Structure formats: structure tokens, C-alpha cells
């Protein structure tokens, strides 16, 4: 053990990067074209541990599904997880450390699918003008989120200005109501 006390003699000038001299194949998992999947179903502490492994080059992704420690099925699809998502959700525990927690990081796949269906329903029931505006905003959001720089065409428009309803159900109801009113007004104009 060192007998030296106090701060280090020399401070690091730049952060350490794993595999700094190695050219990374962008098509491999963890590269630019195939990034790692989102960390889901774990507590905040375990998420930080997995993030650290990714940041410092210690992360090893799974090549095939692992066995769940509760149900013994090969259903664990994320690295460093011990429980499958079904068992972890049923027991309300972290999938990595199996501790009972209030807050689980990430969203479940079924929740994401349900949200996607609701969004598609809202888009389907919306007027053409609103639909195109929403699609433009979604596409712009994807292109802006992929680049770290701010989009030059973003004029300070907030999501609330574009999507005035607070929930997708409310927007779908509003668009249905608008559609009913538009058709009745058109009929009145034709008849009158």
C-alpha cells in the first residue's frame, strides 16, 4: 500500500478511452450502425453499473439467451440480467440484483408496443394536415436526436404547440370530433 497521502501528483489531461488505438467495425454490436440496446428492467444502481461497463469497454453482450434463475427458461435476453422480464415484473424486482425496488429503469416491450399502437391510431384518426405536421416533427426529432448539434430549422417549437392534446386518447377523440364537425359543415354547405 502506498504511504503517499493527498491528491495525485499529476492530474490526467484527458479521459481514458477503451480501445483508443483500435479501429472499431461500425457494423458490429456496439458500433454506430448496431448500437447496444437500452438497459431496461433494472434498478438505478444496476443501470449505473452496466453503463460503466459500456463506457470503459468491459461490457460483454449476450450471444444467445441465458437461463432465468426463477423459471429456468432461456428467456434472459440482456447481458448481466439474472431474471427474465416476465419474472422480474411479476415479482416487482430488479432483473440484475433481484432486489425489491420502487423504481425500475426503462419501459417494457409490451408497453412500448401498446404506446406505438395508440400513436398509430391517433395518427390514423387525425386530419391530413395534422398528420403530416406530426410526421414531420417525428422525422425531424429522429434526425436531430441522432446528431448532437441543434437542428437549424428548429424555431423553438415545443411539443405542446404541435400536439395540443395532453394524451393520445384525448387527441384521437378531438380528431374524431373535428372529423364529425367537418362533414356536417360540408353537408350544410352543399344542402344550403
Is it the case that residue 71 has pLDDT exceeding 70? yes
Compute CA 164 distance to the chain's CA centroid, rounded to the nearest angstrom. Answer: 23
Can you give the residue ranges of every domain in the chain? 14-106, 107-146+159-179
- Residue 84 is given by DSSP the state -
Beta bridge partners of 76: 66
pTM for this prediction: 0.54
Beta bridge partners of 42: 105
Instruction: Tell me the chain's radius of gyration from C-alpha atoms.
Output: 25
Report the candidate in 136, 130, 127 with the shortest Cα–Cα distance to residue 163. Answer: 130
**pLDDT-above-90 percentage for the chain:** 24
Mean pLDDT for the stretch of residues 22-33: 82
pLDDT tens-digit readout, 142-164: 665 444 444 444 444 444 555 55
Element (H or E) spanning 19, and its range?
none
Q: With contact defined as beta carbons under 8 Å apart, do 95 and 42 qualify?
A: yes
Amino acid at each position: 500500500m502506498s504511504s503517499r497521502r493527498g491528491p495525485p501528483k499529476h492530474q490526467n489531461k484527458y479521459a481514458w478511452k477503451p480501445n483508443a488505438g483500435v479501429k472499431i467495425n461500425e457494423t458490429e454490436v456496439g458500433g454506430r450502425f448496431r448500437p447496444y440496446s437500452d438497459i431496461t428492467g433494472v434498478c438505478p444502481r444496476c443501470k449505473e453499473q452496466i453503463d460503466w461497463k459500456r463506457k470503459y469497454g468491459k461490457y460483454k453482450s449476450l450471444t444467445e439467451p441465458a437461463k432465468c434463475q426463477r423459471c429456468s427458461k432461456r428467456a434472459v435476453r440482456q447481458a448481466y440480467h439474472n431474471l427474465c422480464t416476465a419474472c422480474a415484473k411479476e415479482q416487482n424486482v430488479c432483473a440484475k440484483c433481484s432486489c425489491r425496488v420502487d423504481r425500475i429503469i426503462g419501459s417494457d416491450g409490451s408497453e412500448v408496443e401498446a404506446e406505438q399502437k395508440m400513436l398509430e391510431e391517433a395518427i390514423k384518426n387525425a386530419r391530413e394536415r395534422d398528420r403530416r405536421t406530426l410526421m414531420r416533427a417525428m422525422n425531424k426529432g429522429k434526425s436531430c436526436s441522432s446528431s448532437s448539434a441543434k437542428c437549424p430549422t428548429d424555431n423553438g417549437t415545443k411539443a405542446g404547440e404541435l400536439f395540443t392534446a395532453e394524451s393520445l386518447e384525448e387527441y384521437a377523440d378531438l380528431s374524431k370530433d373535428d372529423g364529425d364537425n367537418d362533414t356536417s359543415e360540408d353537408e350544410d354547405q352543399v344542402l344550403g
